[in-house]
Amino acid sequence: MRCKMIEKFSLRNLSFYFSILLLVFLVSCERSSSQDSKIDDSSQLVKINGTKVTVGQLKKKVLTLKRKFHLKNKEPTPEENQVLNVQAMNELIKNELFRQEISKAGLSLSPEELEKDLLEETNGYSEKAFSEYIESSGLSRKDWENNLKFNLLTNKLILLRVNSKVKVDDEQLRSYFESNGSEFSTKEQVRALHIMVKTEREAQDIQNKLKSKGNKFSDLARRYSVAPEGAIGGDLGYFEAGQMLEEFDSVFKLKKGKTSEIIKTPYGYHLFKVVDKKEGRKMTFEESRTVISNRLLEEKQNAAFNKWLNDLKEQADIQIFHENFAQIF
């Protein structure tokens, strides 16, 4: 039994399709590809509305995924190779559909937009460090910049085709708040001053100084603390339990104006003074509005995006070259 050369199909369940396709090749094709000419990097695997995806493109995408999943320096199992090939093909098809839609929409980037995002991406890197970062990804500088341009254009496309059409009205916000009001409350907060030193002996000396009249916690923080906020008297502002190290949760048991015992962490030795406390309380609708709006928008945008992408796949003319796939899998 020989596999058909080209077949049109739906991409709704692409990963599942390729998994089944692999079994069909192994069981029913009886390695028919061995009778055919060997494929090379220019051989076609898929055509998407007339645009071909080649073996070379698949290999390049698989290599990118290996780096992403830290598999570059190990030999993947047959199962891992199958997953890598399926995911790589999924991404290649999806990206080609996006490129075609970007072209249809006439989207482009201004030099100012590109420069702005280039600066954001390289912010905090030296030129050498950034070059090493790109090299570690296996990309040339040109390929990296092309990927950046494509991602920016894709974001524009999704904004145009999906996100700009998704709205959340006040009635939906209020309904969500009323149904999930218990989620919207503030936890107990403390405002504390903090001193961190490197040795227990230093912490004990500061503790003794605090017991002497005339020594203010904030002055000692400025003088001795090696923590960043030491320069402003050790003021950490308000924080909730769980926002800091677990060892600091005991600070919440202190009364206002009280100082902690010495607390040891991997970073050093710590002292705290509680200067204010706020009890937890239920938030009002207005206080919760932004959080709810962001949550509902994200849910609706994700659902709208998935529907839009599935529609793109369903409407696309996809042709797959089975015998070439048989030689890869």
Q: Which residues, listed in sequence order, are joined to residue 253 by a DSSP beta bridge?
A: none
Q: For the purposes of burial, counting CB atoms within 10 Å of the CB of 206, is it exposed (0-12), middle (13-18) or buried (19 or more)?
A: buried
Rounded to 5 degrees, φ, ψ at 45 are: -110, -40
Q: For the purposes of burial, counting CB atoms within 10 Å of the CB of 97, is it exposed (0-12), middle (13-18) or buried (19 or more)?
A: buried
Instruction: Give the pLDDT of residue 17.
Output: 43
Examine the pLDDT at 196 and tell me if it is beyond 50. Answer: yes
Examine the pLDDT at 25 and tell me if it is beyond 80. Answer: no
Instruction: Give the pLDDT of residue 7.
Output: 37
Q: Please, which pLDDT band fits residue 14 given cuts at 50, 70 and 90?
A: very low
Convert 131-169 to b/e letters by CB count within 10 Å (16 or more is b): eeeeeeeebeeeebeeeebeebbbebbbeebbeeebebe
Q: Please, which pLDDT band fits residue 36 given cuts at 50, 70 and 90?
A: low
Q: Please, which pLDDT band fits residue 221 given cuts at 50, 70 and 90?
A: very high
Higher-confidence residue of 25 and 244: namely 244
Percent share of the chain, pLDDT over 70: 88
Instruction: Give the pLDDT of residue 329.
Output: 65
Higher-confidence residue of 145 and 181: namely 145
26-30, 40-44, 158-162, 237-241: least confidently modelled range: 26-30
Helices 141-161, 111-122: crossing angle, 10 deg rounding: 120
Q: What is the pLDDT of residues 69-101, one digit of tens each?
A: 877 677 788 888 888 888 999 999 999 999 999
Rounded to 5 degrees, φ, ψ at 268 are: 150, -155
Residues recorded for the chain: 329
Examine the pLDDT at 113 and tell me if it is beyond 80. Answer: yes
Report the predicted TM-score, pTM, of the whole model to 2 decimal places. 0.65
Q: What is the pLDDT of residues 285-319, one digit of tens each?
A: 999 999 999 999 999 999 999 999 999 999 999 99
32-36, 278-282, 324-328: least confidently modelled range: 32-36
Domains within the chain, CATH numbers bracketed: 6-105+316-328 (no CATH), 113-165 (no CATH), 187-280 (3.10.50.40)
